[in-house]
Structure 1
C-alpha cells in the first residue's frame, strides 16, 4: 500500500479509493481514510510511519515485516496492524504479494484496541477472513453511491471490521499460544528421536504445517534459541554421554552416531560449544 495523494482527494484506481477529508469526519469514533483490495504490494519503507492506523491483510503470497529491528514473516490470512507514527518496512518474498489495505483513525480506535490488549503494531491472524472481505466490499459499494452521508456508513462498517480483528485476537490469545506450543514441542520431540539422522528444516516445516521462516521465528520466540542450536545441543549431549561411557569407542563412530558424518566438522562444532576437543573432553571426564 502506498499513499498516492498528499491531500485526501477522492481517487479510484484498481479498487483503491481515498475519502474526502473534513473536520466533521474527525468527530466520528471511526474514520476511514483509504481502502484498497487486491493490491499488488510494492516495497515500502516508512521510517516514521504514517499519521494514522493501518491494516494490511495478506491475500496471496507472503512478505516480510521489519519493525523495531525485528523481522516477521507475513503469511496468507495474516494482517499487519500499524499504530500511527511507528516506523516500519515491508516487502514481498513470494513471486507475487497481493494485499487488502485500510488506513483509518478516529477517537474510538485506540480505545477499542487498548481495551482488548492490542497496544502496539504487529501481525495478527484473522479467524474469519471472508467476513472481513465482505465488509471491505461493502465499503466500496458505499463509496460508489457517492452519498453526502457516506462517512457515517464508512464509520459503521469500519467498526465492524475492527471488531473482527479484535475478536480474532481475543481467540488467538487463548488458543493460538496453545497450538504454537504444541507445534514447537512436536519439533523438539522429533529432534530428540531423530538426532542421529539428517534433519531438514523443510521436513520440520511440513510436519507442523508452517512455513520454514515462520517456524524458525516461532521456535526462537518461544525458546530463546534457534532450531539449529537445539539440534546441535541434543547431538552434543548424546556425544558427551558416549565419550564418557564408552572410552574405547572411536570418536569418528561417536560422531556418526550423533548425526555428524564428517568427524572434522563434529570436532569443530564440539570445540566451539564446549571450548575443547572431544578427545580432551573425554580425557578430563
Structure 2
C-alpha cells in the first residue's frame, strides 16, 4: 500500500541534527525531472522493478536493492523502465546530516548499493508508525530514527556510479558479441535482455545511447555485411541460400531489407561487384 506523509516542522525542529521533511513507502515512481534539484537531501530506494537516473550528463540503471542519494540543489532526472517501479523515499536535512556524510567521505549524489535492505526498510516503516501516533514529540523520534537510517546507509553502501557505467558498457558489448556470433540464427530481444540482466526497454535505451543506433539496426547491419561478402565471393550460390545463411528464412523479406539499406537488390549488388 502506498503511504506518504509530510511533517509539520517549525524553526525549533530545524535546530535538530536530523530533520525529516517527508516519507513515502511503496510509491509507484513517476517520471521526475528536476534541473535544479530540491533544497534538501533525498534518499530514494528501489523496492521493485528498475529505473534510470540521469545526472551530470551520465545515465545509470537503478535496480532493486540500490538507492539514489541526492544532495541539496543538485539537478537530476529519473524514471522507470520496467513495467512497474516501486520505491521508498524520504526527504531530510539537518546540520548532523551534512557532517555525517562529510566525515564518512560521501561527497556526491549518486547510486548506492545497500547490503542490509531489510533493516533500512524496517526503520522507514518505524518512521511511518511514529507519524501515525500523532505525538507532540514526533519530530524528536523522527530525528532519532532518521539518524539510525543514515548510519545504516553509510555503513552498508558503496558508490556505484563509475562501476555501474563500466558494467553497463560490458553488458552492451556482451550483446554485440552475441549478435556477431549468432547472426545466422533467430535473435530475440527477450533473450538478449535476459543475457544482459536488463529489461528489454532499458537494454534498447542503453544500446542506442552508447552506440547511436538501435539493436535491430545493428543486427541488420551485421547480417547484411556477411550477405555482401557471400554475394561477392560465392557468385554461383543461390540468393535464397545466402539469405538463409544470414538469418533470413524468407528470401523476399531479405531482398526488401537489402534494397532498403543498400539501394539495390542483392542480385544487382552482385552484378556491380
Same fold (TM over 0.5): yes
The alignment partner of 2:158 has SS state of helix
Q: Aligned in 2, Cα 1:72/1:183: closer, same or farther, shift over 3 Å?
A: closer
Distance 2:14 2:155 in 1: 25
Aligned CA distance change for structure 1 residues 179 and 49 (closer, same or farther; 3 Å): closer
Closer/same/farther in 2, CA of residues 195 and 100 from structure 1, 3 Å limit: same
Quick check: 1:14 aligned with 2:2?
A: yes
Question: What is the aligned partner in structure 2 of residue 213 from structure 1?
Answer: 201
CA change 1:157–1:226 in 2 (3 A) is farther
**Bigger Cα displacement from structure 2, 135-144 vs 240-249:** 135-144
- Which structure 1 segments of 5+ residues have no match? 1-12
Task: Check 1:73–1:171 CA distance in 2 against 1; reply closer, same or farther (3 A cut).
Answer: closer
Other structure's SS at 1:170 match: coil
Residue 201 of structure 1 deviates from its aligned partner by: 0.9
The 1:208/1:22 distance shift into structure 2, 3 A limit, reads same
Once the 2 structures are TM-superposed, how far is the Cα of residue 19 of structure 1 from its aligned partner?
Answer: 1.6
Q: Distance in 1 between matches of 2:105 and 2:225?
A: 41
Which deviates further from its counterpart, 40-49 or 207-216? 40-49
Q: Structure 2: how far apart are the matches of 1:219 and 1:109?
A: 38
Pairwise CA distance, 1:80: 5.5
Shift of the 182–166 alpha-carbon distance from structure 1 to 2, 3 Å rule, reads farther
Superposed counterparts of 1:227-242, under 5 Å? 227-242=215-230
**Distance in 2, Cα, partners of 1:281 & 1:113:** 64
User: How many pairs align?
Assistant: 273
Contact 1:72/1:217, CA 8 A, preserved across alignment: no
Which stretch has the larger CA shift, 129-138 or 113-122?
Answer: 113-122
1:208-266, Cα deviation, whole Å (9 max, x unpaired): 33221222233334434322222122112211211221122232321221112233332
Q: Distance in 2 between matches of 1:116 and 1:263?
A: 63
| CA–CA distance in structure 1, aligned partners of residues 259 and 119 of structure 2 | 56
Any conservation in 1 of the 2:111–2:160 contact (CA below 8 Å)?
A: no
8 A Cα contact 2:112 2:158, kept in partner: no
CA distance in 2, matches of 1:254, 1:109: 65
1:195 equivalent in structure 2: 183
Deviates more, 1:92-101 or 1:188-197: 92-101
The 3 A distance-change label for structure 1 pair 156 and 227 is farther
With 25-34 and 139-148 compared, the bigger mean Cα shift is at 139-148
User: Would the aligned equivalents of 1:63 and 1:94 in 2 still touch at CA under 8 Å?
Assistant: yes
Structure 1, 70-79 or 25-34: larger mean CA deviation: 70-79
Cα pair distance change 1:247/1:96, threshold 3 Å:
closer
Equivalent positions of 1:48-59 (< 5 A) are 52-59=40-47
TM-score between both structures, scaled by the size of structure 1: 0.68
Unaligned regions of 5+ residues in structure 2, if any?
none
**TM-superposed deviation, 1:96:** 6.4
Please provide the CA RMSD for this pair: 4.5
User: 1:116–1:170: 8 Å Cα contact kept in structure 2?
Assistant: no
